[in-house]
């Protein structure tokens, strides 16, 4: 495997219900399942692992710097409790799409801003925490 096979210098875009928004960081990009372990009476070598119905959501965290433009006015409509039908995250390497992640039926459960500090000249950040029931990944190894 060559070093050029990895995905360095990537860029990504995030779409909510077909509209593109810029984010500086996406974290918790993954999913979990719930399991139950059972030890059988006659087989004590290893537990039997059973998949349980999912009862807790997965969380996606999106962070962005706030702007003083019209796009931030539109972005302010994303409040806690807002339902987002479809989230698409597209990862690109050299302007070619190499991965796509799809999340359906997301709900914004937390919106948070960076601390306000008059003694610092940092950038004001906003983060959204979105609960969802699962993510689908579409790997595109050769890029589109």
Q: What is the pLDDT at residue 46?
A: 79
Determine, yes or no, domain membership for 2. no
Q: Is the pLDDT of residue 103 over 80?
A: yes
Q: What is the pLDDT at residue 55?
A: 87
Q: Is the pLDDT of residue 142 over 80?
A: no
d(CA 132, CA 84): 10
Determine, yes or no, domain membership for 50. yes
List the CATH number of the domain containing 23. Answer: 2.30.110.20
Tell me the residue range of the domain where 76 lies.
Answer: 8-139
Q: What is the pLDDT at residue 129?
A: 95
Q: What is the pLDDT at residue 18?
A: 83
Q: pLDDT averaged over the chain?
A: 82
Determine, yes or no, domain membership for 32. yes
Q: What is the pLDDT at residue 19?
A: 85
Over range 1-17, report the average pLDDT.
72
* CA-based nearest residue to 55, from 108, 131, 129, 135: 131
Residue 104, burial from CB neighbour count under 10 angstroms (0-12, 13-18, 19+): middle
Question: How many domains would you assign to the chain?
Answer: 1
**Whole-structure pTM over 0.85, yes or no?**
no
Confidence of residue 131 (pLDDT cuts 50, 70, 90): very high
Q: What is the pLDDT at residue 143?
A: 54
Helix or strand (DSSP H, E) at 58: strand 58-65
Contact present, 132 and 60 (Cβ < 8 Å): yes
Instruction: For residue range 48-95, list pLDDT tens digits in order.
Output: 888 988 888 999 999 988 766 666 666 777 889 999 999 999 988 888
């Amino acid at each position: 495997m060559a070093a050029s096979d990895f995905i360095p210098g990537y860029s990504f875009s995030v779409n909510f219900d077909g509209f593109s928004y810029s984010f500086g960081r996406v974290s918790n990009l993954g999913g979990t399942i719930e399991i139950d372990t059972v030890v059988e009476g006659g087989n004590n070598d290893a537990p039997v692992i059973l998949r349980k119905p999912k009862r807790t959501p997965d969380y996606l965290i999106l962070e962005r710097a706030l702007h003083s433009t019209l796009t931030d006015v539109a972005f302010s409509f994303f409040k806690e409790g807002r339902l987002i039908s479809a989230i698409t995250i597209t990862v690109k390497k050299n302007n070619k799409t190499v991965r796509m992640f799809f999340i359906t039926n997301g709900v914004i459960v937390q919106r948070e801003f960076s601390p306000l500090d008059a003694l610092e000249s940092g950038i004001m950040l906003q983060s959204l925490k979105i609960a969802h029931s699962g993510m689908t990944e579409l790997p595109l190894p050769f890029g589109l």
